Amino acid sequence: MTDVEGTAPRSDHPALRVLASPPGATWRVVVCPHAGGAASYYRRLVLARDRAVGGHPRGSAAPFASAPEVVAVQYPGRETRLTEPPVQSMTDLLADVAGPVRALLADDVPTVLLGHSLGASVAVRVAAGAGPGEAPDLLVVSGRAERADRPRSGGRDGDGSDVVGPGRLTARDDAALRTWITALGGTPPELLADAEFFALHARVLRADLAVHDSLGHAAADEATAITSPLLLLAGSDDVASPPEAVAPWAERARAGVRRRVVEGGHFFVGDRSPEVVEALRAALTAVAAGTYADRVARPTAEERWVWSREIVAADLRRLAGTGAGTAS
């Protein structure tokens, strides 16, 4: 193995980009990026490995104490695939990336499949369609409201089910997109002010938002069951997908679920990468030990009621903040 950012994985497929493959790696993280995102953003997970993960020094006998191999999915239309047209439906996106990811999952390396924001919906579907021996050892849903996975479900602004606010995103003008991107954080203002950068970014962002919109047009609008051990990650101050909106993913879990709230906004995965990598390592260790499913796989009726109450309360707070008297 080499430790060179951007090298091609074993399948040599353009949809997969190896960000790091350190000698002696005993586990792997595969990342499905957020809307408008590209593989290189998750280089931050590579940089996090340079710190002792979870307090375990290199060479420790602790399970998965070594730095992981990090592979990011590269959607069409960006970075190394800039000359390809971006796709605009989940069906087309899965046709492009699911096969290469599942082929990678089919080897014997313990693998975490992490999807952040829109990428969570991609990762869930990749895992759901996996054949024998292709399922991830751990599936991670990060920064994605459960209702956002089913846009027809009638969610309100701010719970992630409509990612940018009222109306469909693909029709939004540049000013609205800039406002939303700024609110989420994660993109330096000087880049947003650069016309050439923004034109390229808006092109793939609108395509990815069309992918999001396409979830509401699926023939079967049923929630996809999750049969791999599930880890839910949420940012404490995420305005698009707050923790209470991420939590209901647990209702789909069939093989154990754990939850972790990380300090930060929507892009906590990059901003708090050492903490995220440690959360992945700890969860994968529990999976390997056979203790992950000891946690309740499905929420209790009381938990579901609490989540519903929190979402309604959040809706009311947003309405009060805007001065609106009725919900649309």
Q: What is the pLDDT of residue 163?
A: 47
> Considering the chain, what percentage of its residues have pLDDT values greater than 70?
73
308 CB-near residues (< 8 Å, 6+ apart) = none
All structural domains of the chain, each given as residue ranges with its CATH number in brackets, are 16-319 (3.40.50.1820)
Which residue would you say has higher pLDDT here, 200 or 81?
81
Mean pLDDT (the chain) is: 81
pLDDT reading at 23 higher than 60:
yes
DSSP 233-274: EEETT-SSS-HHHHGGGGGGBSS-EEEEEESSSTTHHHHTHH
Which residue would you say has higher pLDDT here, 218 or 188?
188
Mean pLDDT of 58-72: 78
Strand partners for 71: 18, 30
Which residue would you say has higher pLDDT here, 98 or 206?
98
pLDDT bin (cut points 50, 70, 90) of residue 47 is confident
Q: Look at the pTM and tell me if it is higher than 0.85.
A: no
Q: What is the pLDDT of residue 172?
A: 65
**What does the pLDDT look like over 263-305, one tens digit per residue?**
999 999 999 999 999 999 999 999 999 999 865 445 555 555 5
pLDDT reading at 323 higher than 80:
no
Mean pLDDT of 136-159: 78
pLDDT reading at 153 higher than 90:
no
pLDDT reading at 9 higher than 50:
no
pLDDT bin (cut points 50, 70, 90) of residue 6 is very low
Mean pLDDT of 203-212: 91
Lowest mean pLDDT among 175-184, 189-198, 275-284, 318-327: 318-327
Q: What is the pLDDT of residue 57?
A: 45
Contact between 272 and 264 (Cβ < 8 Å)? yes
Q: What is the pLDDT of residue 120?
A: 97
> Considering the chain, what percentage of its residues have pLDDT values greater than 90?
54
Q: What is the pLDDT of residue 5?
A: 44
pLDDT bin (cut points 50, 70, 90) of residue 216 is confident
Q: What is the pLDDT of residue 327?
A: 34
255 CB-near residues (< 8 Å, 6+ apart) = 226, 227, 228, 229, 230, 292, 293, 297
Element (H, E) at 72: strand 69-73
d(CA 150, CA 145): 10
d(CA 32, CA 97): 9
Q: What is the pLDDT of residue 8?
A: 42
pLDDT bin (cut points 50, 70, 90) of residue 190 is confident
Helix, coil or strand: residue 189 = helix
